[in-house]
Amino acid sequence: MNGIGNIMIIDDSPLDRLIITQLLKKRFSRIKIFEMDDGIDAAKNLIKYDIQVCILDIMLPGKNGYQILKELKANKNTKDIPVIIFTAMDDTASIERALTLGALDYFTKPISEESMKISLPLKIKNAIELYKRNKQISYLSYHDKLTGLNNRRFFEDEMIRLDNENYYPLSFIMGDINGLKISNDIFGHEAGDKLLKAIASVLKRSCNRGNVISRWGGDEFVIMLPKTDRDKVEKICEKIHTSCKQYKGSSISLSISLGYATKKDTFEDITQILKMAENNMYHHKLLEGTSSHSSIIGSLRSTLQEKNLETSEHIDRLALLSRKLGITLGLSENELDNIYLLALLHDIGKIALNDSLLMKPEPLTEAEFEIIKSHSEIGYRIAKSIPELTHIASCILHHHEWWNGTGYPSGLIGADIPKYARIVSIIDAYDAMTNARGYKIAMSSEDAIKEIKKNAGIQFDPQIVEAFCEAMNNKNMEVC
Amino acid sequence: MSPYVTPNKKLTFGGCIMIADNNEHNDYFKDILGNFADDSGLDYGMCEMLIKMYITEAEVLIYKIDSALNIGSYKDAIRLIHNLKGTSANIRATEIASIALLAEQALRQNKIEEVRKLIVELFSLLEKFTK
């Protein structure tokens, strides 16, 4: 039914309809023309055939054109469809009447040469374009562009309409996506958008017809469920959680905290019910908060491994080495934990980089190297957004700084580089040298230590290099 | 009581205007065809078809007007004459359109006998297409 333009001609003369049809078809090939010889079911047919402009004769059997026009303008489903009136040339009164009733424009009969060739087809075309633009604007004013769900404005209008005992029990589900900020920070806003769209489709799949699903704010969604009691709402919430778990579209698991409340009686204040649903949602969010964060760290780590950026052996070795070095440096147990975490996650920013770039066997171009270098900043943003990792964020940022100030990203010098970053950079370098990685052949431990010593005061903190050598020489050290 | 008591004998037989299929039209037809094609910008074949349809539709309209007058439903008669006027003007059958206008005006003034005469005239004009 959706042509470039769907036009309805309401005229009781088949010949006039045919003439208009031919004039329009001569100019525009991609239009669809529908005809009626009276206006009895005008509104119904205009909706049924998705009409974008209606050409209406005034003198009709049964209802006349004015009555039809009045009805079309009074119907919320047809009031925006442009109507162009056909009227006798000298009949200024009827032109005035039709335009007053809301007709967009008029043609006079007999159709003049100019009208046939120019203004009739072009006025129709402009009316269709106007209608389509208006339709788009009204769609956007009631929908969220990204997810295609209804927006808050629509929801609030519907809330007034459905706050009626015919629709009780009227339930509300409030939902807040988990991990949207992290997803935006790590993978960029496109990935965040993908997450929002995924949630929107989960919600659509999980809800029933007649439920009003809308995007309430940034990462918040709200669903209004007329004639839905507590048990049914609970089932829908379960359905949403299950669908989220089954979703396999991104590195970050899809998760949403939900809360609901139900209005059963007229005297209950609907805004309070909505507030209750929101409070329940926050309550769940707090309960789920910790687990969702640790699941985020878990999923970050598994992504690193899936991408073959870090093997679990490498991580185990780093953990062991960092502990050994930490003990030699006389660090506290708490500090040892932090070093361990940093050793584990210092390259976390790499998950946002392109696999083919990370695995590229050939030497990198300057531009490619710049991209690779961005992993420390991305890692910093990731760590910043996860409460458990905030304290090591700046160490992640600076784990590629050099003692002499020639590292990246900030070119920090000496003790300005965070201590944990200075420690982990030595361990990471040692492990990289002593283990075969891709095209690189493994070095012996002695050679690697020699290389590190050579770079003391250049790349590495000389004092920590000293401690590192000591730790490496101390074969009997107990680390656990 | 209906003032229009004498049915028009000439109009008692329907479908009597025969349109030639061989496209050999008379000058009356050709003149109107030329004007309509020039004004509308549609091609000749299409215009010819539309005029043929017009002749048939106009004939039916004239019978309908006649019947409406016979049973005294002037409101319908006015609408039908109005339609005949509009369609005729659109197709550039200007003579018929102007007679229809006179008939519409006469009917609005309740001059039924005059309307009756004008209807006979309309019918003869329509016949000119094929004579």
Q: What is the pLDDT of residues A259-283, one digit of tens each?
A: 999 999 989 999 999 999 999 898 8
Chain A residues in contact with B42 (beta carbon < 8 A): 22-23, 26
Q: Provide CATH code, domain B26-127.
A: 1.20.120
Nearby residues of B8 by Cβ (< 8 Å), 6 or more positions away: B66, B116, B119, B120
Contact A13 B53 (CB under 8 A): no
Domain ranges of chain A: 5-142, 152-301, 307-473
Separation CA A397–CA A352 (nearest Å): 15
Considering only the beta carbons, identify the residue of A19, A61, A111 that sits closest to B50. Answer: A19
Confidence tier at A305 by pLDDT (50, 70, 90): low
Alpha helices of A90-119 — where are they, by DSSP H? Answer: 92-100, 113-114
Separation CA B114–CA A380 (nearest Å): 97
Nearest to A69 by CA among A49, A90, A96: A96
Compute chain A's Rg from CA coordinates.
Answer: 34
Separation CA A414–CA A458 (nearest Å): 9
- pTM for this predicted structure: 0.60
Confidence tier at B99 by pLDDT (50, 70, 90): very high
Lowest mean pLDDT among A306-315, A343-352, B49-58: A306-315
Separation CA A21–CA A31 (nearest Å): 10
Nearest to A301 by CA among A383, A245, A374: A383
Q: Express each pLDDT in B38-52 by its tens digit.
A: 999 999 999 999 999
ipTM: 0.83
Considering only the beta carbons, identify the residue of A26, A59, A109 that sits closest to B90. Answer: A109
- How far A40 CA sits from the closest chain B CA (Å)? 17
Nearest to A291 by CA among A248, A239, A255, A332: A255
Confidence tier at A337 by pLDDT (50, 70, 90): confident
Nearby residues of A442 by Cβ (< 8 Å), 6 or more positions away: A433, A434, A435, A436
The DSSP symbol for A474 reads -
Q: Do A152-301 and A307-473 come out as alike in CATH topology?
A: no
Residue B32: burial class (beta carbons within 10 Å; 0-12, 13-18, 19+): buried
Contact B39 A61 (CB under 8 A): no
Query: Hey, is the C-beta of A22 within 8 angstroms of any chain B C-beta?
Result: yes
CATH topology of domain A152-301: Alpha-Beta Plaits (3.30.70)
pLDDT of residue A310: 60
CATH topology of domain A307-473: Hypothetical protein af1432 (1.10.3210)
Pair B62, B14: CB distance under 8 Å: no
Q: Between B12 and B93, whose confidence is greater?
A: B93
Pair A86, B82: CB distance under 8 Å: no
Nearby residues of A422 by Cβ (< 8 Å), 6 or more positions away: A403, A460, A461, A464
Tell me the C-alpha to C-alpha distance, in Å, between residue B55 and each of B23, B27, B43, B84.
14, 15, 19, 11
CB atoms within 10 A of CB A112: 17
Please report which helix (H) or strand (E) contains residue A174, including its range.
Answer: strand A170-177
pLDDT of residue A87: 82
pLDDT of residue A221: 96
Chain B residues in contact with A113 (beta carbon < 8 A): 38-40
Sort residue A231 into left (φ over 0), alpha (ψ -120 to 50) or beta: alpha
Contact A61 B46 (CB under 8 A): no
Q: Provide CATH code, domain A5-142.
A: 3.40.50.2300
Pair A318, A428: CB distance under 8 Å: yes
pLDDT of residue A357: 79
